[in-house]
Amino acid sequence: MKTVSENRAFGGVQGVYTHASDVCGGDMTFGLFLPEEAEQGAVPLVWYLSGLTCTHENAMVKAGAQRWAADHGLALVFPDTSPRGPGVADDPAYDLGQGAGFYVNATEAPWAPHFRMWDYVTEELPRVLFNAFPLDEERQSITGHSMGGHGALTIAMSLPGRFRSVSAFAPIANPTQSDWGRKQLTAYLGADTAKWAAHDATLLMKKRGFDGPMLIDQGASDQFIDLLRPEALAEAIAAHRQGAVFRMQKGYDHSYFFVATFMEHHMGFHAAALNV
């Protein structure tokens, strides 16, 4: 692992690191904020998964999460959204290819050799983090924005017991029924729609739900709301009788201004679930 940068922030350290990824077949980059408490021992970890077009850097510099994480003694990890570099497949569209990994393991050409973001986020990157940094593996939570909200919800529901809590900002909530989903799931997983169900938060909610607290914020003036389909997830939450808070925030759009506005609430929500 190589240290790209480390900066003092809110009493802790905001670092950026690269490492060789066997899963993705190349170097991957992630950001990690460690609070001051990490100098004394292992601290709880919150995962932040980013959305379309983002790298590790977008949330790291725009979401304002470090301030609130530091208040609660939480570490924050910001993975990249896809593999990158020479030899990695890409597409001219912003919503497919590099920057748009959708947190799945691709099985189709030309994506399959590198686009294994599910395994990267759920298996490989955790091994890197817990081997190298003072993090408490027994206390983890997860959140994300847009495509990253989709990833956070599907991963949390698919790995019972891994995460104490899950939250999302404007998640792609029902991708099997949206143009933000059908295009990418076809490209990465093929035309068999039965293979898509494991990556749809609405379908997973109907099937199994989440074994912990859930918080979702959606901007009522989100310019992409028809693609996100929050109403489908809200209906599934009610039908499953899931313990959840689903908030439609009047006047807010899809931007990081929206994310930053409610980040304090999300960090406090996860801190409570992580007993800090």
- 222 catalytic? Reply is yes
Q: What is the pLDDT of residue 166?
A: 98
Helix 256-273 to helix 65-72 angle (10° resolution) is 10
pLDDT in tens, 33-50: 999 999 999 999 999 999
CA distance 168 to 53: 18
| Annotated catalytic residue, options 178, 222, 266, 270 | 222
Find the largest Cα–Cα distance for the chain. 51
Task: Report residue 276's pLDDT band, with 50, 70 and 90 as the boundaries.
Answer: confident
pLDDT in tens, 115-141: 999 999 999 999 999 999 999 999 999
**Nearest C-alpha neighbor of 136 from the set 219, 49, 220, 73:** 73
pLDDT in tens, 140-169: 999 999 999 999 999 999 999 999 999 999
CA distance 124 to 28: 11
For 146, phi and psi rounded to 5 degrees?
60, -115
Q: What is the pTM of this model?
A: 0.98
Report which DSSP code applies to 116.
Answer: B
Q: What is the pLDDT of residue 195?
A: 96
2-273 CATH = 3.40.50.1820
pLDDT in tens, 48-102: 999 999 999 999 999 999 999 999 999 999 999 999 999 999 999 999 999 999 9
Q: What is the pLDDT of residue 163?
A: 98
CA distance 153 to 151: 6
- 226 catalytic? Reply is no
Q: What is the pLDDT of residue 7?
A: 98
**Contact predicate 49/245, CB 8 Å:** no
Report which DSSP code applies to 234.
Answer: H
| Annotated catalytic residue, options 150, 254, 266, 270 | 254
- 141 catalytic? Reply is no
| Annotated catalytic residue, options 146, 165, 167, 178 | 146
